[in-house]
Chains A and B, each alone.
Chain A
Amino acid sequence: MNGPATATLKRRDFLKTAAGGAGLVIGVQLLPGCAVSGDGNAAAAAAETSWSPGLFVAIDSTGKVSVTCHRSEMGQQIRTSLAQIIADELEADWDKVVVVQASGDPKYGDQNTDGSRSVRRNLTRLRQAGASARRMLEQAAARQWQVPAGECYAELHQVIHRPSGRRLGYGELVRAAAQLPLPDPTEVPLKARKDWRYIGRQQPSVDLPAVLTGRAVYGYDVQLPGMKVAVIERPPALFGKVKKLDDSAALKVSGVEQVIELPVLEPPAAFKALGGVAVIASNSWAAIQGRRALNIDWDAGANAAYDSEAYARQLLEAAHKPGRAVRNQGDVERALSGAAQRVKAEYYVPHLSQAPMEPPCATARVSATAAEIWACTQTPQATRRSVAAALGFEEQQVTVHVTMLGGGFGRKSKPDFSVEAALVARAAGAPVKVMWTREDDIRNGYYHSVSAQCIEAGQDRNGKTVAWKHCTVFPSISATFAHGTKSGSAGEMRMGFVDNPFDIANMRLENGEAEAHLRIGWLRAVANVYHAFATQSFASELAAAAGRDPKDYLLELIGEPRIIDLAAQGVEYDNYGDPIETYPIDTGRLANVVNIAAERADWSRPRPKGHGLGIAVHRSFLSYVATVVEVSVSPEGQLRIPAIYVAIDAGTVVNPDHVRAQCEGGSVYGLSCALGQITAKNGAVVEGNFDDFLVARINDAPAKIDVHIVASDAPPGGVGEPPTPPFAPALCNAIYAASGKRIRKLPIGGQLRG
């Protein structure tokens, strides 16, 4: 039951008939969602009688249910989860459900697949969509039988007349149901939670068969008739431009057809094309070879002097100076001066690259009046807007098809690569696929912000923390959109900073200024990554200073179960865009996951010499995650992770296996955040591939990952991002417990040696 698999079945059939000729041209578009069925005749026949009660459900006369997924699939199995929600309320037979991928269109509501909000913003809405369709099928059957609708109920793809036992299949009811008016979805009764059939249960991914046989279609896999392939040499430094181009050697490469210069990027960078020189060729290899043969003199531009090492020193200095107060309670200076003991530390997290396994890639076909894009995008609507703006089109002239994404992690929330494809396709007068190589991805990205933080705390005679002064400094994502921005945005402040959950009487939180010299962008969990690293590392340092167990001390810092009311303190806090009444900051739930993770790790059991446990907890995207990491550190500094224990409270869960998978993968992603770094010299990123931008490999990964999902009927929180932030601090706290070495600056690198 999936789009991509069936779409490529058609391709295979085509290949069977066309195989044999060299230089085969593919005549069928390979796109998820474009072909609803592998059987063309059945699809055509069904289309005549297909009924769409609302945006997300269509049922044809064979009874096949097509669920439209308007969120992008990048590994979180959202296509499966959203289908589960609709199929449940629709009382559909799971085997008769297929998933169709939506193109970019505001009619679906928000489609920007970031912020861990696909389930939390759509659970109710899609239940209503499914329930509305079910209601109409019941009414259609009642009308046909001429019985009261209340005597009819739907069950597994049939409507049943309770008194007589008569039954009609969904396919048989489609024509009659199509005559009925759509009910107000908010008025339709939803199933009781106990009657949920698919929600809350493990359901195999709808895309699994296609993925496991290589038939799933990602952005990189799109092929159109007459399509060219382009790779682009982009300015090494942000806002650099071509001074002199010699393309004579490139044009001599067999298969290279055209070399064009892209428009010079003017600030703000936003989602615009970066500029540079595109080599357009008949095939991928020729394009790559052609680019190698380019000879370009660059004017490095305004960021030519950017040196990440010098910049790190500046950031750290700024973190020690007073900044703009974003939360202030009690009198932190007085409490510090009266403290029995003062503890101070600085933390540094470098720039990082999202580095999804599939680098950005987009294909465009542009005529004088319309543009069509196929892309592995997290944000089809922003893609549509950005492409329209770049081409001087109205939005309605642009269609954006969403392929499968080979990972996203925030990189594919920026549609710059689709804009490039549109511009190059227009210049080429043919469909063009713009492929980013790994070096392009690592060197020309939207980077996780580099950050420096300084925290100073005061403890009283009993070791209780009575003062907490914390300054965070980082170039803001806002600078990518409003050139010259130097302060952190409210969005960045809310991510694990102003919402500090510790019960400390005197707390002052500040933000210092920093200028951006690269494009700064979202990476899985965003500012939560560095804020949790500093806050949760320092919590463990405070425990050590007080001579206390880190887990017990963490619980003491969190304090009694209570709801934190930031508004009462005059703190700006948007709670990830959801109402604070529905999703309060609940320290009881925070402490609960700490206790569960510690219990599952058997926290108090002594570990062998050279082993250690570390713990961290963090609320982000409205969910609560605690992580315990067990490490061993050899005398030579060899780090191993025998086990980790993750406890998550994400409220209502649609598919527990997806949540487990996100906890596993989010933790490994957090490990990568402690291993890799992006540095810059002369304005240009130094790293280029997986040999110098280090990410976790299987031999780095935990040997065992234990995940506990807190059973809850609270509204759903986010899942894709929340497991990442607590990992690095739990890891570094464990390293301290095992070796006595305190890692305050990431990456870990050589700090464990000697």
Chain B
Amino acid sequence: MKLKVNGKNHNFRGDPAMPILWYLRDELALTGTKFGCGAALCGACTVHLDKQAVRACITPMSVAEGRAITTIEGLSENGDHPLQKAWAQHNVPQCGYCQSGQIMQAAVLLQNNSAPGDDDIDTAMAGNICRCGTYTRIRAAIKTAAEAKS
């Protein structure tokens, strides 16, 4: 089956039931997409499938056929997406492990809502756990990125 990952064409011949996460990590060495729970409960594996945020840990490869996956490595050319810049400005990450999932989730939020308030952010981001507890900075960074985009 054919698919695109970060703008490049790929041909996948393996088990169509395999979650996208393991294809990205094991076969493409795109390890920015993280394993956190394996059950769509923590959001660490969030990637974009076309323009939607999906949990790569439970989304089978069959769903990706003919579609485009974007991972944290492909979110911007030089790490300068408004969210990446805002994350740096607010020094959001602690251990950083969940942050690619957080950023990918936030990117879809900003696509759909250019000026999210606290409740919008909480609703959109509630599926993404951060055990380091960077939530207040995540909220602030999303608002900064929203302002920068508008």
Q: Which residues of A contact B (CB under 8 A)?
A: 11, 15, 19, 22-24, 26, 30, 73-77, 202, 204-205, 207-209, 211-218, 220-221, 223, 229, 254, 283-285, 288, 355-359, 404-409, 435, 437-439, 657, 661, 664-669, 671-672, 689-691, 695-699, 701-705
Question: Which chain B residues lie closer than 8 Å to A221 at the CB level?
Answer: 25, 31
- What is the distance, in angstroms, from B110's C-beta to the closest C-beta of chain A? 16
Beyond the given pairs A24-B28, A218-B31, 19 more chain A to chain B contacts, judged by CB atoms under 8 angstroms and listed by A's residue number, are A11-B29, A74-B95, A75-B95, A75-B132, A205-B91, A209-B88, A212-B79, A284-B25, A356-B95, A357-B98, A357-B129, A357-B131, A406-B97, A438-B39, A438-B41, A664-B134, A665-B134, A666-B133, A668-B135
Residue among A30, A205, A699 having the largest count of chain B Cβ atoms under 10 Å: A699
Cross-chain pairs A/B with CB under 8 angstroms, 21 sampled = A30-B31, A205-B93, A208-B88, A211-B99, A214-B31, A214-B72, A214-B100, A217-B31, A283-B26, A284-B25, A285-B15, A355-B131, A357-B44, A406-B95, A407-B97, A438-B41, A661-B94, A666-B133, A669-B131, A689-B37, A698-B128
Q: Which chain A residue shows the least CB distance to B41?
A: A690
CA distance A205 to B131 in the complex (A): 19
Q: Which chain B residue shows the least CB distance to A644?
A: B136
Q: Is B73 a contact partner of A214 (Cβ separation < 8 A)? A: yes
Interface membership of B34, Cβ < 8 A: yes
Q: Which residues of B contact A (CB under 8 A)?
A: 8, 11-13, 15, 18-19, 22, 25-39, 41-42, 44, 71-73, 79, 84, 87-88, 91, 93-100, 103, 118, 121-123, 125-139
Q: Is A223 a contact partner of B79 (Cβ separation < 8 A)? A: no
Question: Which chain A residues lie closer than 8 Å to B13 at the CB level?
Answer: 22
Q: Which chain B residue shows the least CB distance to A220?
A: B35
Q: Is A254 a contact partner of B15 (Cβ separation < 8 A)? A: yes
Q: Is A215 a contact partner of B88 (Cβ separation < 8 A)? A: no
Question: Which chain B residues lie closer than 8 Å to A358 at the CB level?
Answer: 34-36, 95, 97
Residue among A207, A214, A672 having the largest count of chain B Cβ atoms under 10 Å: A214
**Interface SS, A side:** loop
Question: Which chain A residues lie closer than 8 Å to B27 at the CB level?
Answer: 22-24, 283
Q: Is B126 a contact partner of A699 (Cβ separation < 8 A)? A: yes
Q: Is A664 a contact partner of B137 (Cβ separation < 8 A)? A: yes
Q: Is B25 a contact partner of A406 (Cβ separation < 8 A)? A: no
Residue among B103, B126, B132 having the largest count of chain A Cβ atoms under 10 Å: B132
- What is the distance, in angstroms, from A101's C-beta to the closest C-beta of chain B? 14
- What is the distance, in angstroms, from B85's C-beta to the closest C-beta of chain A? 9
Question: Which chain A residues lie closer than 8 Å to B133 at the CB level?
Answer: 664-669, 671-672, 696, 701
Q: Which chain A residue shows the least CB distance to B93?
A: A211
- What is the distance, in angstroms, from B144's C-beta to the closest C-beta of chain A? 14
Q: Is A438 a contact partner of B99 (Cβ separation < 8 A)? A: no
Q: Which chain A residue shows the least CB distance to B137?
A: A664
CA distance A209 to B44 in the complex (A): 18
CA distance A272 to B126 in the complex (A): 37
Question: Which chain A residues lie closer than 8 Å to B18 at the CB level?
Answer: 285
CA distance A77 to B31 in the complex (A): 21
Q: Is B131 a contact partner of A409 (Cβ separation < 8 A)? A: yes
Q: Is B15 a contact partner of A438 (Cβ separation < 8 A)? A: no
CA distance A284 to B121 in the complex (A): 33
Question: Which chain A residues lie closer than 8 Å to B91 at the CB level?
Answer: 202, 204-205, 208, 657, 661
Question: Which chain A residues lie closer than 8 Å to B34 at the CB level?
Answer: 218, 220, 357-358, 406
Question: Which chain A residues lie closer than 8 Å to B126 at the CB level?
Answer: 697-699
CA distance A220 to B12 in the complex (A): 23
CA distance A138 to B102 in the complex (A): 47
Q: Is B73 a contact partner of A213 (Cβ separation < 8 A)? A: yes
Question: Which chain A residues lie closer than 8 Å to B93 at the CB level?
Answer: 75, 205, 207-208, 211-212
CA distance A435 to B99 in the complex (A): 20
Q: Which chain B residue shows the least CB distance to A227?
A: B26
Question: Which chain A residues lie closer than 8 Å to B132 at the CB level?
Answer: 75, 357, 407, 665, 668-669
Q: Is A357 a contact partner of B130 (Cβ separation < 8 A)? A: yes
Residue among A15, A213, A666, A699 having the largest count of chain B Cβ atoms under 10 Å: A213
CA distance A221 to B123 in the complex (A): 30
Q: Which chain A residue shows the least CB distance to B32?
A: A214
Question: Which chain B residues lie closer than 8 Å to A284 at the CB level?
Answer: 22, 25-26
Q: Is A695 a contact partner of B134 (Cβ separation < 8 A)? A: no
CA distance A74 to B31 in the complex (A): 18
Question: Which chain A residues lie closer than 8 Å to B26 at the CB level?
Answer: 229, 283-285
Q: Which chain B residue shows the least CB distance to A692?
A: B41
Question: Which chain B residues lie closer than 8 Å to A657 at the CB level?
Answer: 91
- What is the distance, in angstroms, from B60's C-beta to the closest C-beta of chain A? 10
Q: Is B136 a contact partner of A77 (Cβ separation < 8 A)? A: no
Q: Which chain A residue shows the least CB distance to B79?
A: A213
- What is the distance, in angstroms, from A76's C-beta to the closest C-beta of chain B? 7
CA distance A76 to B34 in the complex (A): 20
CA distance A134 to B43 in the complex (A): 46
- What is the distance, in angstroms, from A68's C-beta to the closest C-beta of chain B? 20
Question: Which chain A residues lie closer than 8 Å to B12 at the CB level?
Answer: 22
Q: Which of A283, A689, A699 contacts B123 (CB 8 A)?
A: A699
CA distance A250 to B101 in the complex (A): 32
Q: Is A690 a contact partner of B15 (Cβ separation < 8 A)? A: no
Nearest first, the 9 A-B pairs at minimum CB distance are: A214-B32, A668-B133, A406-B97, A75-B95, A75-B94, A211-B96, A214-B72, A665-B133, A221-B31
CA distance A213 to B32 in the complex (A): 7
CA distance A489 to B19 in the complex (A): 46
Q: Which chain B residue shows the least CB distance to A74?
A: B95
Q: Is B71 a contact partner of A214 (Cβ separation < 8 A)? A: yes
CA distance A78 to B103 in the complex (A): 23
Q: Is A703 a contact partner of B99 (Cβ separation < 8 A)? A: no
Given A285-B15, A691-B39, A697-B129, are A404 and B96 neighbors across the interface (CB < 8 Å)?
A: yes
CA distance A216 to B72 in the complex (A): 12
- What is the distance, in angstroms, from B28's C-beta to the closest C-beta of chain A? 7
Question: Which chain A residues lie closer than 8 Å to B79 at the CB level?
Answer: 209, 212-213
Q: Is A689 a contact partner of B39 (Cβ separation < 8 A)? A: yes
Residue among B37, B71, B84, B98 having the largest count of chain A Cβ atoms under 10 Å: B37
CA distance A437 to B37 in the complex (A): 7
Question: Which chain A residues lie closer than 8 Å to B38 at the CB level?
Answer: 288, 437-439, 689
Q: Is A212 a contact partner of B87 (Cβ separation < 8 A)? A: yes
Question: Which chain B residues lie closer than 8 Å to A407 at the CB level?
Answer: 95, 97, 131-132
Question: Which chain B residues lie closer than 8 Å to A435 at the CB level?
Answer: 35
Q: Which chain B residue shows the least CB distance to A669?
A: B133
Q: Which chain B residue shows the least CB distance to A283?
A: B26
Question: Which chain A residues lie closer than 8 Å to B84 at the CB level?
Answer: 212-213
Question: Which chain B residues lie closer than 8 Å to A19 at the CB level?
Answer: 8
Question: Which chain A residues lie closer than 8 Å to B97 at the CB level?
Answer: 218, 356-358, 404, 406-407
